[in-house]
Structures are given as C-alpha cells and as structure tokens.
Chain A
Amino acid sequence: AQSVTQLGSHVSVSEGALVLLRCNYSSSVPPYLFWYVQYPNQGLQLLLKYTSAATLVKGINGFEAEFKKSETSFHLTKPSAHMSDAAEYFCVVNTNAGKSTFGDGTTLTVKP
C-alpha cells in the first residue's frame, strides 16, 4: 500500500521569501511522484513530476522538488514567493497502473 503525508496543512510566507512545502511518501515499489496545484476557483493542474531521470525536478512557475529516496521525501520549493503562488498544493504518489494517492494538501498563503 502507498501513502502520502504532507506536513503542515497551512503555510504562510512573505512575498519574496522561500517557499518549502513538505511531502513524505511510503511505497512498496519505486514511486511515481507528482505535485499538483489548485488555484482559487480553478481545477487541479500538474506542477511537476518525478520521472527517475533526475532527482531534482523543475516545474512550472519556478517551482522545483527534490526526490530523496533515503528520506522518502519529495519536498517542493521555490526561492522567492509571489502573490500569485497562493493556492493549495497536493503531493501525489502513483502505482504502475496510474492509481493515485493524494496527500491532504497544503494551503499556501503569501503575505505582501
């Protein structure tokens, strides 16, 4: 069985500050890992995904995530937060067949 834990249901940062959203997973096989984002009044969309080609994955809007097998983590970061980054972020682990398990999400608030 696979599971995802997102540490911190709410994260608040100032504009220009570092964004760090934490995700730990458990999976019995090498994982397929994703971050999805849901902006206010919009549907879920892919931010980035881990494809095993590189442990540091770059996504849209300046976000990146690093896969650390020893720590079973896939934390999401952005060096400098923008007001438009305010959204809910979900960490997801997939099986080989594409069955997804979502974390409970982290709501990011960006203060001016």
Chain B
Amino acid sequence: EAGVAQSPRYKIIEKRQSVAFWCNPISGHATLYWYQQILGQGPKLLIQFQNNGVVDDSQLPKDRFSAERLKGVDSTLKIQPAKLEDSAVYLCASSELGLAGGYNEQFFGPGTRLTVL
C-alpha cells in the first residue's frame, strides 16, 4: 500500500514570496490533515478535512495561509506572502473515516521543509 506522498521535500524562498505544498493521501482515506512543525516543537494542526469539507481550521492563519482539497483526494496548502516565522516542516497526514474518529491512526507523509530567508 502506498503511503502519504508530499512534494516538494525541500523549499527555500524569500520573505513575501508565495509557496505551495502538495499532498496525496492514502487511497480511501477520507480525513486529511496539515500540520506545521517548528524546530523543537510538536506538530501543530493547521487544518483538517473530511472528504472535501473543512472540519477544523481554527489554527490556520487565514490572512496568509489557504488550503483546499478538491474532489476529496489531493490537497494543496499555500502560503502567500511568506514570513520568516513560517520556516518549519509542513506535514500531511491521512486517516480512515470511522464512527470512532478519535481512535483512528494517522499516517504521515515525509514532510516539506520550508526555509524562509
């Protein structure tokens, strides 16, 4: 079974530029997550999709970050314009849709390491 795919793996940009990250979840997984992991901290949830609907985006900085999940499969996370403090690893994860959603294991992609200069 193929895992969660993310691209690019690394990205270096200058502040005020735009950047986009792509994620392809495990086939059949209805729930998709984007996390931001700053060095020395645990992953912080940015947005959670269930199929193509947003379940939670309370921690997404909506003035500069946006995400979409067209057709309930692939997802794109965009930052526009980037700030220095956006330097982090951006993780995508997916899980099955179940009645007991809290029990579901998340499967993580390798992440995209973003450096903003």
A interface residues, Cβ below 8 angstroms from B: 4, 9, 32, 34, 36, 42-46, 49, 51, 90, 94-105
Contacts and interface: CB of A to CB of B under 8 A. Distances in A.
Interface stretch (B18-26, B41-49, B69-77, B78-86): B41-49
Contacts of B106: 44, 46, 98, 100
Interface of B: 3-4, 31, 33, 35, 40-45, 48, 55-56, 91, 93, 95, 100-106, 108-111
A44 B101 contact: no
B103 A49 contact: yes
B42 A43 contact: no
24 contacts: A34-B105, A43-B91, A43-B110, A43-B111, A44-B91, A44-B93, A44-B106, A46-B106, A90-B43, A94-B101, A95-B102, A96-B101, A97-B48, A97-B56, A98-B31, A98-B55, A98-B106, A99-B45, A100-B43, A100-B106, A102-B42, A102-B44, A103-B42, A104-B42
A98 B42 contact: no
A94 B3 CA distance: 22
Given A97-B56, A98-B101, A44 B108 contact: yes
